[in-house]
Structures are given as C-alpha cells and as structure tokens.
Structure 1
Amino acid sequence: MKTRFGSAILGTLVLALMAGTAMAQDKTLKINSFGGAYEQAHRKCVITPFEKETGATVQVVTAYSADAFAQLRAQKAAPQFDVVHFSGGQEIVGAKEGLLAPIDPGKLTNIADIYDFAKSGIARGEGPAYSIAAIGMIYDSKAMSEAPRSWKDLLDPKTSAHLVLADISNGYGMLGFLMLNKVEGGDLANIQPGLDAVKKLLDGGATVVSTSPEIQQEFAQNGAWLAPYASDYAFTLAKAGLPAKFVQGAEGTPASYITVNLVANRPNQELALKFIDMSLSKSAQECFANELRYTPTNAKAVLSPEVAAGVAYGAEGVKGLLRFDAATIEANRAAWVEKWNKTIAH
C-alpha cells in the first residue's frame, strides 16, 4: 500500500512538472529577426508590446531570410522556430515543402484589414506580408532638378556617370535589375535585355556596388545622384543628412514582401498566431513605417504626409506594387548571377 501510495504521489509530481513545463513552453516563442535597425524597430513595434500584452517571452535569433530558411529546412524533423520572418519569398518554397503551417483567418483579428494581395497565400501556408519594402529610385534632390518618373530614366546618358547599381546578389539589387529588364522588353524567361542595358550604363560610367552601406558612400563621397533601390534605404540616407528622396517608377514598383510565417509542427501555435496577429495590426505597421519607411499592408494604417511620401501608401499607392515570382528567381538565381558577373566584368 505504501509503495502504491508513494508511486501515486511520484506520478502526480511528474504530471505537475510536465504541465508546468508545457505552460512555460506555451509562454515562450522563438523567432528570427533581421538584426540592426530592423531588429530594433521589430522590438519596438511588435516584440515588446506582445510580451507586455501576453506575458510571454520572445527569444530572438538574428538571422536573415536565407539563413533562417536554411535552419528551418535543417530542423524539419524537429523545428526550433515558432514564427519565422522572410523578405525574399522563401515562404512560397517553405509552404510547398511542408515547413510552414496554413493559417486559419478566423484566428487573426486583424486579417480583414490586410490588403488581399498581402494575404492571398495563407491557406497554403504562405504567411501574410506585414510590411513591404518598395523598390523604386533613390535620387539626390539637390543634384537633380527634376525627380525621375520612369524606370527608363535610369537609362538617360546624362546621369550614367552618377548612377549606382546594386549587384544582383543583393535582394533589392535583383528586384531593381528585373524591373529594368522588364521595361527593356525582357521577362523572367529572358534577362538579356536587362543585361544589355546594364552594359550600356557601365560603359557610360555607372558604378556597381554589393551592399547598402556602399550606396551611402557613393552618395556621400563619390557624386552619386541616382540608384534603383528600396524606400527604407532612402530613409537611411536622409537620416544621415543626405538630400535623398524616394520615388516610384511609373511602370510599377517591385515589392519585397516581408512576411510572418507559422512554423509547422510546433506545440504553441495559438501563441504564435497571436504574435502574427499583432504584426498585422494597425499600430505595428504604422510603427514600422515611421521607423523604417516600410509600406503598411493594413489598409487602416494612417501615416503623416512626411512618412507617406517615402512609401507606397494607401489603396492607390499599393496598386503599382508588383511581385516577381520568387520561385522562378530562386531556381535561376545562380545562372543569372553568373551572367551578371560576366556582363559587369567587361
């Protein structure tokens, strides 16, 4: 009898311990963020408010999209992330591979306010876009008497010597190049028109850089006037005291979707969905726009005229956004980079 009684007590203690562990797990989320200024804004706009509202703890791993996706793939049998963020379209591949879970819109209180294009894949497991980096033209408002209006303005021989192009190994650089290719008559099956245009620009004195800080250096020190790049980086240049402004091209605005995704086969998906929901909120998206000049996908977001001028804002502003097929880009990336490298080497 004593043995059975002791076993019963031990069993009860074990169950209590397991329950306590489960409760602790339920109150902890592991996510990735992108580091630097982005991660600072992420904490301010979403992570800290979420922790205060829910009492949960958010563990942040600094990992850019490609690295986070590689980790997610490697951990498929025992995933470690609860929520994963991407900016390069990895959610499309991840959903197909079963790494991401479909999202029930009934679990998200803010989903009705999100533009349709930003939530079209949630039933497939493609997380909704909670911010967008709009790719257009950054220009020096003092050096250029008129703002560029068309992507074809990049081809003006008068500005070639003051033009900066980002290497297509850079995500923003890839999108800018694909848009240039598009206006020159190319498409994702044929990038030669874009490569021919780049060769002409380089012959005219254009500069190629690999990283965002190099663009700032070109504008600050080397006489750059114009660069096809993202709205958030135009804001970075302006904060550094440079007369940089951002404008969308008339033919369309390539969009880098920043998505928040529900990882499959994790035990605390209810808490993860609450985190995703907060990312979609009006207040979070207004915060991201104010802090980094990202385009909100929540139709109810209200921005000041100054902030709105630096993003694609409102129903009319987002009409010009376009998204090149991320799966096609990924499948061709290596071959395109090889062709690009041969072009810029001459």
Structure 2
Amino acid sequence: MKKASLAGMLALLGTGLLTLAVSPAHAEKRTLVLSAYPIAQPLFNKYVYAPFKEKCGCEIVVETGNNADRIAKLDARRDNPVVDLVLLSDFGMLEASRKGLIQPLDYSKLKNYSQIYPFARNPIGGNYAVGYTIYSVGLVYRTDKIKSLTSWKDLWRDDMKGRIALPDVSTTQGPLALQMADIAWGGKTENFSTGMQKILAIKNNVVTFSKNSAQLSSLFAQDEIWAAPVARFTWAQLMKTGMPLKWSIPTEGQAAGMNVMGIVNKSKNADLAYQLMDFWLSKEVQTALAMELVDSPVNTQVVLPKDKAEFNTYGGEHIASLKFVKPETLLKHRSAWLEQWNKGISK
C-alpha cells in the first residue's frame, strides 16, 4: 500500500510539474524580427513597436540597413529565415519577391486594408506587399531669386544655369527625377532615354548631382543653388535654413516613391507579422507618424492640421499629382541607367 501510494504521489507531482512547465504564465515570449530602414527608429519605437508589444505580449527585434544589404541578408538566410516582416522600397520588395524571399499575402487578414489608397494595395503585383508610406518629389525654389517654377522643363531655362542641383541616378530619387524629365520632354520609351539625354545635356549647368538630402539643405543655406527637386520628407529640414523657399507642384505632376511591407517566406511568426502590419496601417498609427513628420500616411482616414499637412505628402492636390515609377521598370533598367549616367557625366 505504501509503495502504491508513493508511486501515485510521484505521478501526481510529475503531472503538476508538467502543467507548470507549459503554463502560459511561465511561457517564453515570442519574438518578432523586423527588417527596416535605420531612419527615425526612436519614433517608430514610441508609436509602433512599444504599443504593439503591449498589445501582442511579444518582443520585437529590429534589424536596420539599406535595401541592398537587407535583401542580401534575407537571401543568405533563405532556408532558415531570422526576419519575419520586412520594410523595403517597392522595387526592393519586387526584387526580393523574384528571388523567392517573400510570401504572398492574404489581404483578408488586414482589417485596415480597405482604408488605404488603391495604389498602396498590392503595389508590386502578385499579392506580395502592401504600401505603408509614400513621398512626393516636387520642385523647390528661392522666391527671392526666381519668379516661378511651374514645369520640370523650367530647370533647363537659361537663368537656371549654375543654380540647380539634381539627384544622382544612383539614389532612390534619381530614377524618379529621370522619369519626370522624360515626361516633361515628351519621352515615349519605358527606359526614359529622352529624360536621360536631356539631363546629361545640362550636366555643366548643375552645381551638384546630390547623393542625399542633407546636401540640399547646405546648398540652399549657402546660396549655392536656387532650385532643386526635393523629396517631401525633407521639406521641414529645408525650411529651417531660413531661406525664402517655395514648394511647387509642376504641371506634369510630382515624382512619387513608396515604401512597402512584406512577410518573409518561411517566417516562423507570420501571424504576428500580419498583426503588426495591420497595426501599422491603422488610422491611429498612421496619424501619429504623420504628425511627427516621420512618414506620410497611406490610410485615407488620416486627418492632419494645416501645419502638419504642409510637410507630408497629403491632401487631394498632392495625391492626384503623384507619378510612380513602376517597380518592374526600375529593376529592368537600373543597371543600364547607371552605366549611361557614369559614362555621360564623365565625358
């Protein structure tokens, strides 16, 4: 009897320990790994990561870097991925999807999907992505030096010689400006050959082919340039130069770029990735990021006050003016553009 009783007690004790081991209260938190751009991470932590962690009861680890480096990492770890959710440019995501690194999305799992602009829905085809922010590239000019700029073609005017900056074609904004030059000068081919020819023809009129937005702020502040194509997310910084600057939406429209989200193929936490994606697209999060001038919203329910709207790609006129470069066009011609550019600039 004593032996049986002892065995029973041990069995009960073992059952209790097993129950304790799998109790949710003692379970390890799940970790979602996000691959993102390094810019504004403290603000993303405040308005996206921290509130989401509280909501999901999980942890978030963030890897940062540029498009190319992060796609290379995804490729290197394709058989045993570390990253769950990745944020890339639209053309970067298309490249990743073509490499088999991204899984198709089930948009029915995103309750906020119906609230975003149509161009942000399935932006690269194949159901691989969803847009989470956009930006415009318009023309900015010194009002005390230039009467007006109403067309992209105005950058070719005689009074612009030695007073403009253009983005280098190797930058994210380079192909966007190339497209607008092509549109303005009546280009008819998808490789923007007319735009390329026109830009190279005025290379000696250009103060610099800028590699980043910080350069533009310095050039305007030091009175070296009077006009340049500018990305909307840098407008607030340019205004801090104290120069009399004006933003112009040219008659041909504004160049536009979009960043998108996708879920990594074989992700171990795809369910959490969907939840974070949907949270990011919500009116509340999109509004908070727009108010902090971090990202312009794609959620159509966002309402911004005038002082914040001015620095976002936001509002009917801005949205209607956007001209996106097709991601497949950029991927197809990127190498040829770089080759033509480097050869043409060095002549």
TM-score of the superposed pair, with normalisation by structure 1:
0.86
User: Residues of 1 paired with 2:235 and 2:45: CA distance?
Assistant: 22
From 134, 137, 147, the counterpart of 1:132? 134
5 Å matches for 1:300-315? 300-315=301-316
The structural deviation recorded for 1:106 is: 2.4
1:33 aligned to 2:21? no
- Which secondary structure does the structure 2 equivalent of 1:158 belong to? helix
Q: For residue 28 of structure 2, what is the aligned residue in structure 1? A: 24
Mapped contact 1:95–1:125 kept (Cα < 8 A): no
Change (3 A) 1:67 1:187: farther
Deviations 1:101-129 (A, max 9, x none): 22222221211111111013588342211
Deviations 1:24-49 (A, max 9, x none): 36x3111122223x323322332222
**5+ unaligned residues in a row in structure 2: which ranges?**
none
User: Residues of 2 paired with 1:179 and 1:99: CA distance?
Assistant: 31
The structural deviation recorded for 1:299 is: 0.6
5 Å matches for 1:1-346? 24=28, 27-36=30-39, 38-121=40-123, 124-146=126-148, 148-187=149-188, 189-292=190-293, 294-346=295-347
User: Residues of 2 paired with 1:88 and 1:105: CA distance?
Assistant: 17
The structural deviation recorded for 1:240 is: 4.9
Change (3 A) 1:215 1:17: farther
Tell me the C-alpha RMSD between the 2 structures.
3.1
**5+ unaligned residues in a row in structure 1: which ranges?**
none
2:222 aligned partner, one-letter code: Q
User: Residues of 1 paired with 2:70 and 2:62: CA distance?
Assistant: 12
Deviations 1:153-176 (A, max 9, x none): 222221232100111111112211
- Which secondary structure does the structure 1 equivalent of 2:187 belong to? coil
Instruction: Count the aligned residue pairs.
Output: 343
Identity %: 28
User: Residues of 2 paired with 1:45 and 1:247: CA distance?
Assistant: 31
User: Residues of 1 paired with 2:275 and 2:221: CA distance?
Assistant: 43
The structural deviation recorded for 1:282 is: 1.3
- Which secondary structure does the structure 1 equivalent of 2:145 belong to? coil
Mapped contact 2:139–2:227 kept (Cα < 8 A): yes
User: Residues of 1 paired with 2:234 and 2:245: CA distance?
Assistant: 9
